[in-house]
Structure 1
């Protein structure tokens, strides 16, 4: 590699990623303070200027319990040096509408190999081209997925409905949705669950069963892993967000 490319200043990377509105980018030090962010993170934190974010932690910028989860996730990366690769996460838009993203975090190491911070991105899922040939090939499998998400579903069955092998089906789903088939099933189930949490009076236990989970506990664990909050707390925050939709409230982003 050319010596000039061995080290790219964070400011250069930040300026480049300022041009990517669908992807949040950040670098944090070992005290979990932001040292570099792009415009997407700035907008989604509800701030106007980077100076309002830089030098601060997620706990100072985001409300609990979301900030608690950000801190725990980042602390794990710092303490173990182990990154996060494509974790499916859900967040709330103004009006209580769920949004979806994939989060990646890596430990940053100094010349001696010691962890000196972390960097990450959180990328919004692509909007699928429903008129494309690949999408049309999957249409029957996707119909069954959206109709029967509350039932036990095997990827082999969905692949068969599309006339594909499991590997071919996985590649097609990744190409269209940016997800693995398992992640797509989780997204469909939790999207349905979030709608029921928002628009029905069903209990969490009833929603769990209706969305394909064996019990309240299994559903809550999966929901918290993806949304970083419990279903009960999500319902409360979503209703609060809908009530204040006309105001200028910061987005509750699921990764920071």
Structure 2
């Protein structure tokens, strides 16, 4: 009997096994080379990234698709997998979604190894981070729900902690353990992603968008936007407008 790898090569020359991922609901699948360049994805992943075919996404980096703070983290995680030759599991990350509102997703990344043990690339699956029924009353989940419903309001971490029924220090520790960012960082990232969508989809002034998304003024919005997206709101709007045309 052949080894598993030899058997797999015999039956999967055309990527037949990868087609299974087209039929698993609410799951995104992707392949990258060892330079973190995209090779392929299932239909849902392509749609999520704004592409129709694998030919269109082939060779693109995360930086070509996602905000800078996202793409840098994705690449860092990729390189951890490639250098260690070990999987990274249960990575909880914030993504913009097809309905344009940011949501949490769980990512699992695995190394793709040649028969000689060398890393050829990575594969990954991404799923919505839906809290289990038993987690509905979890203080962190309650806090996230409150933030999403009131992102444009003045949000106080001490007040959110009080509503969750635990101390601020405890809530921040649990939040960071679960999502790898602080509650304050999450609020800012959520506001930035929503503002980015409004910049590309509406003609409202940058100042009005900033205020509607919970920022105090134009200058503070620009500072946070540049830090997270790698460019100013105006530059982002111009770039997105040219892409849409």
- Name the TM tier (shorter chain): 0.5 to 0.7
How much does 1:123 deviate? 3.3
Gaps of 5+ in 2: none
Give deviations 1:196-254, integer Å, cap 9, x for gaps. 53543034995599426983333321244xxxx7533443455567x77xxxxxxxxxx
Aligned residue runs from structure 1 range 136-175, under 5 A? 142-143=145-146, 146-147=149-150, 151=154, 153-154=156-157, 157-164=159-166, 166=170, 170=174
What's the TM-score once normalised by structure 1's chain length? Answer: 0.53
How much does 1:161 deviate? 0.9
What residue in structure 2 maps to residue 66 of structure 1? 65
Is the CA contact 1:204–1:231 (under 8 Å) kept in the aligned structure 2?
A: no
Q: Does 1:77 align with 2:56?
A: no
Give 1:134's match in structure 2, choosing from 132, 137, 142: 137
How much does 1:117 deviate? 0.9
Gaps of 5+ in 1: 245-256
Where 2:224 maps in the other structure, the secondary structure is helix
Decide whether aligned partners of structure 1 residues 100 and 77 sit closer, same or farther in structure 2, where only a CA change above 3 A counts: same
Q: Does 1:88 align with 2:94?
A: yes
Where 1:58 maps in the other structure, the secondary structure is coil
Decide whether aligned partners of structure 1 residues 181 and 158 sit closer, same or farther in structure 2, where only a CA change above 3 A counts: farther
In the alignment of these two chains, the number of paired residues is: 220
Is the CA contact 2:31–2:38 (under 8 Å) kept in the aligned structure 1?
A: yes
What residue in structure 1 maps to residue 122 of structure 2? 118
How much does 1:122 deviate? 3.7
Q: Distance in 1 between matches of 2:41 and 2:151?
A: 41
Where 2:205 maps in the other structure, the secondary structure is coil
How much does 1:118 deviate? 1.6
Higher relative CO (CA 8 A, sep ≥ 6), structure 1 or 2? 1
How much does 1:40 deviate? 1.7
What's the TM-score once normalised by structure 2's chain length? Answer: 0.55
Decide whether aligned partners of structure 1 residues 158 and 232 sit closer, same or farther in structure 2, where only a CA change above 3 A counts: same
Give deviations 1:139-161, integer Å, cap 9, x for gaps. 6985577547564632x542321
Decide whether aligned partners of structure 1 residues 217 and 104 sit closer, same or farther in structure 2, where only a CA change above 3 A counts: farther
Q: Distance in 2 between matches of 1:239 and 1:191?
A: 17
